[in-house]
């Protein structure tokens, strides 16, 4: 589906706002001081679980491993009622059809990485074929990586055009654009890459592939949320956010939700507009939900290892 040229006209990205890194870090730290108790905590934990993209992206992935992950996505904890499913299962394009069949009519999305994930080092025509293959196999969402080499070389129009081309190749699938913030170096570059991705048609902007450290951090996510807010005020178009990698504890995930609510508002507090790319987070959230419901922690071996 082609996008309106007027909506996605290329602005001067050199004019992206400068970011006060110390200020961003200080503001982000304030969200970690909030205390969430009892019913609000349980509701928050359920919301976090419902926002997780369970992910397996390894060379040793098999049909059986993907099917097991899909079962967990549908049945996070068989012994505890009223637990929501996760948002999506994310796999390589070659595993999309397996995941799609295993998830059936559960309502859980199938996401697929594409565009020479995780490096992004491939010609554009290869990236487009990779994307179209994933979509034709049944992917509801595509997670692409930007060409960071071109970005660092200052070739912002190249990055813009490539994202726009991948968005067109996605057809009706939603596009998450991975900035790989751990390689960008400065908050100014994070903001500029966020602006490029959104103006080029991204449905989500995402911090990381999970293959580079540091991955998601609260200050970086704050800068990206503020970019989404400014873009929304300018265009009226909502864009989603996905911090990925480095979020393994429920308490930290709840702090992220507080930050999203205060920066963007409650409209973004659904899995349509906010996701966690953190499979290891799921078990900790489940452990905390069981604790809130029963008053007792279950041992880690009560939960599957993915």
Q: Is the CB of residue 255 less than 8 Å from the CB of residue 31?
A: yes
206 catalytic, yes or no? yes
Task: Looking at the chain, list the stretches that DSSP marks H as alpha helix, in order from N- to C-terminal side.
Answer: 21-30, 38-50, 63-74, 96-103, 124-137, 148-152, 156-169, 187-199, 218-235, 250-264, 279-294
Q: Measured between alpha carbons, how far is 46 from 288 in angstroms, rounded to an integer? A: 10
Which of 100, 127, 242, 284 is labelled catalytic? 242
For residue 207, give Cα distances in angstroms to 8, 10, 25, 167, 252.
Answer: 22, 22, 16, 18, 16
Residue 177: beta bridge partners? 144, 205
167 catalytic, yes or no? no
Q: Is the CB of residue 261 less than 8 Å from the CB of residue 228?
A: no
User: Pick from 244, 165, 261: which is nearest to 205 by CA?
Assistant: 244
**Residue recorded with tokens 């928050």:** 44
Which of 53, 143, 195, 284 is labelled catalytic? 143
How far out from the chain centre does Cα 47 lie?
Answer: 15
What are 1's two structure tokens? Answer: 């589906």
2 catalytic, yes or no? no
- CB burial of 152-165 (b: ≥16 within 10 Å; e: otherwise) equals eeeebebbbebbbb
Which of 72, 100, 189, 206 is labelled catalytic? 206
Q: Which residues are catalytic?
A: 143, 206, 242
């Amino acid at each position: 589906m082609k996008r309106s040229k007027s909506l996605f006209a290329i602005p001067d990205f050199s004019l992206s706002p400068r970011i006060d890194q110390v200020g961003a870090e200080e503001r982000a730290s304030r969200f970690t001081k909030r205390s969430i108790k009892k019913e609000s905590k349980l509701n928050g934990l359920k919301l976090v679980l419902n926002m997780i993209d369970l992910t397996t992206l390894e060379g040793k992935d098999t049909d059986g491993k993907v099917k097991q992950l899909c079962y967990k996505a549908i049945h996070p904890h068989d012994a505890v009622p009223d637990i929501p499913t996760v948002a999506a299962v994310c796999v390589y394009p070659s595993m999309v059809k397996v995941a799609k069949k295993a998830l059936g009519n559960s309502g859980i999305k199938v996401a697929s990485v594409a565009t020479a994930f995780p490096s992004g080092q491939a010609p554009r025509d290869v990236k487009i074929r990779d994307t179209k293959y994933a979509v034709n196999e049944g992917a509801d969402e595509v997670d692409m990586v930007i060409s960071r080499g071109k970005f660092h070389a200052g070739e912002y129009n190249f990055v813009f055009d490539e994202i726009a081309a991948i968005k067109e190749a996605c057809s009706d699938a939603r596009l998450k654009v991975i900035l790989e913030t751990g390689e960008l170096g400065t908050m100014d570059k994070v903001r500029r890459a966020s602006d490029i991705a959104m103006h080029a048609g991204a449905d989500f902007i995402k911090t990381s592939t999970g293959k580079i450290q540091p991955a998601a951090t609260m200050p970086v996510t704050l800068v990206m949320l503020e970019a989404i807010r400014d873009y929304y005020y300018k265009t009226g178009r909502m864009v989603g956010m996905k911090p990925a990698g480095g979020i393994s504890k429920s308490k930290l995930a709840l702090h992220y939700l507080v930050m999203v609510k205060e920066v963007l508002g409650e409209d973004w507090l659904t899995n349509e507009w906010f996701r966690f790319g953190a499979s290891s987070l799921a078990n900790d959230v489940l452990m905390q939900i069981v604790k809130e419901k029963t008053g007792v922690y279950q041992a880690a071996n009560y939960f599957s290892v993915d």
